[in-house]
A and B are shown apart, each in its own frame.
Chain A
């Protein structure tokens, strides 16, 4: 079966509401049956099992569980208070707090949906009480939450690293500067919005208040030190850091005496489902990947594209376009799992650094989380704010513009993601 026929069948199955993971299994089984006969299908069970035992992917359920515990342990509230003490004194202070709290939260959570769910439920009602339009609060919370997947730790980066056989740690380091750049640009945009719409100033800057908020959030601030410090110093792997993050979140919650076993169990249940949804996709895509490799489809695609151009900038432009379009219609995890293994031969053939490309992919996923119809983070924000998706999208366009600008900079100025990687690891 050619790649185009497979793509067509995939589209038909997905349109029928067959889960994408099952659709991939159907295609793989049908393709192997056609090529090698029914008996060859028995080994598919071995592939499905071994693809779901991938050790680095253990980080996914662990970061989800850590995020859940942090949400119930009073950590979110303390981070918001610290961000308010830091940047709440400027015009549109709560909007700035939203971005700053997202940056803090991003350092301990790997998921933008976790970020928007945690911060949105605290910040959006507070902003609306202070006169911010609810559509603006949803747009800002949603876009700033997408910074969570650019700033380490990041679940999409872990997925990319496994699919592209790239270094998770180097990807995490590469995300620091683009994440801070995105945060800075979003704060700048908030300042413009604040001036134009007359958003209020919160309380004046007070060093005593900042000190009190820092002390109050002291244990919370240890979490990024444990997680990122452990990973960057090579003391632990990303997976092990995720395990430690769970333990640290439990300990911090116990210190604050705010752990709710009921909420943790509910969060763990959601974590199980989220993990299984992504992992099943990985398992069945591995099955399809075996067929694609045997049929040499990625190599054929590489030949077709490199026949057109071998210029890295042109290949990056094409791949950006591909991921941008896919991001509008596919969940980020599905886009990474389906596309990265197919395009990696092209990326390597034209000499693009896999870590650099990882950041390009991650930023495209962040933008995809903001672009309907399939926009997981935007939808979660709209659901919390009870706001219309399209009305929120109108407010969100400038924030999407900021993410696009960061994507362009990261794509064509590789030093932005790679400077720290070169400095530390190469």
Chain B
């Protein structure tokens, strides 16, 4: 369990740092894009790069959201199931989510391999492979995040809905 907690903390720190850095980079880029355009010196590559940054934010942020269990869903229906069913349902869920994201990561690697050396239109020094690498990397991290949260989910399933913190139920529902 100590290894799980340590891995979880490291993954969380890496994803938060990446996500926040991307968010600030987007803000600076968009604001600079407007100001420079108004000054008559537009940046030709700014919307393409901003789009790539948004895609990275989406995918690395999605892995962070998986770690924080923040993705939109209906968490309380499984908790209301009969006790004997809850653990199997949690395992089926984990298999579906991890399997799908593993497939997405696999397809992502294949696309990186096929298109990897092509260049972006306005930024020829950046390859499509680097831009699209966010999908396979982040989808793999998504799987890791799901596996790291599985012990908590299984513990909650064993305990049932009554053991869940009401505040947490409220916040999960609010999300």
Q: Is A236 an interface residue (CB 8 A)?
A: yes
In chain B, residues 63-97, which have Cβ atoms closer than 8 Å to a Cβ of chain A? 64-66, 68, 70-75, 77-78, 89-90, 92-93, 96-97
* B72 contact set on A, CB distance < 8 A: 19-21, 277, 281, 331, 333-334
In chain A, residues 1-59, which have Cβ atoms closer than 8 Å to a Cβ of chain B? 13-22, 25-26, 29, 41-46, 48-49, 52-55, 57-58
B135 touches A48 (CB 8 A): yes
A61 touches B65 (CB 8 A): no
- Consensus secondary structure, chain B interface: helix
Instruction: Give 1 or 0 for each of A371-415: 1 = CB within 8 Å of chain B CB.
Output: 001111001101100000100000000000000000000000000
B23 touches A271 (CB 8 A): yes
Instruction: Give 1 or 0 for each of A323-337: 1 = CB within 8 Å of chain B CB.
Output: 000000001011000
Which size bracket describes the interface of B in this complex? 35 or more
Say whether, besides A20-B73, A53-B51, A246-B31, A280 and B173 are in contact (CB < 8 Å): no
Minimal beta-carbon separation of B16 from chain A (angstroms): 5
Q: Is B127 an interface residue (CB 8 A)?
A: no
- Consensus secondary structure, chain A interface: helix
A269 touches B16 (CB 8 A): yes
Instruction: Give 1 or 0 for each of B129-162: 1 = CB within 8 Å of chain A CB.
Output: 0011011100000000000000000000000000
Residue in A239, A276, A375, A380 whose beta carbon sits within 8 Å of that of B65 in the complex: A276
* B22 contact set on A, CB distance < 8 A: 272
A272 touches B174 (CB 8 A): no
Q: Which residue of B lies closest to A277 (CB)?
A: B65
* B171 contact set on A, CB distance < 8 A: 379, 383
Q: Is B167 an interface residue (CB 8 A)?
A: yes
A269 CA to B16 CA in the complex, in Å? 6
B174 touches A376 (CB 8 A): yes
* A239 contact set on B, CB distance < 8 A: 30
A20 CA to B73 CA in the complex, in Å? 6
Residue in B24, B89, B92, B107 whose beta carbon sits within 8 Å of that of A268 in the complex: B24
Binding site for A on B (CB under 8 A): 16, 19-20, 22-24, 26-27, 29-31, 33-34, 47, 50-52, 54-55, 57-62, 64-66, 68, 70-75, 77-78, 89-90, 92-93, 96-97, 100-101, 103-104, 107-108, 110-111, 115, 131-132, 134-136, 167, 170-171, 173-175
Binding site for B on A (CB under 8 A): 13-22, 25-26, 29, 41-46, 48-49, 52-55, 57-58, 61-62, 65, 113, 236, 239-240, 242-244, 246-247, 265, 268-269, 271-273, 275-277, 279-281, 283, 331, 333-334, 373-376, 379-380, 382-383, 389
